[in-house]
Amino acid sequence: MSAAVTARARARAQGRVAEAATLARRHSQAPHFARSLEWLLFTALEVNADAAPPPAPDGRGGQGGAAGAAARRRRADVAGPLLLAAAGLIRQFPQARARRAG
């Protein structure tokens, strides 16, 4: 993929994030907006976990037990671009800070 194609894709993605932020600000006074932010975060976490590459098999057909659980935790420690964008969007709203403190 050329640098120009990558730059255009990045610009489109940034445009979508800006559009999402504008839409969210427009609805930020809705009664259940804080719940929407929670839903966004949990959805991004789920997509991030599903998008992570599976751990390498250990020769026994996969990792089970404690070794498998540790591998899954390591995969979940890597934040993908969707999770980072969702977290950045959520941080823009005082409702998210109020929920954390409470």
Tell me the C-alpha distance between 50 and 28, whole Å.
29
pLDDT score at 79: 85
Please give the tally of structural domains in the chain: 1
Return the amino acid letter for 35: R
Cβ count near 81 (within 10 Å): 13
pTM: 0.64
> Distance between CA 15 and CA 22 in Å, rounded?
11
Res 72 pLDDT > 90: no
Q: What is the pLDDT of residue 61?
A: 46
pLDDT tens for residues 38-49? 999 999 999 888
**Which residue range is the domain that position 96 belongs to?**
3-101
Quick one: pLDDT at residue 22? 92
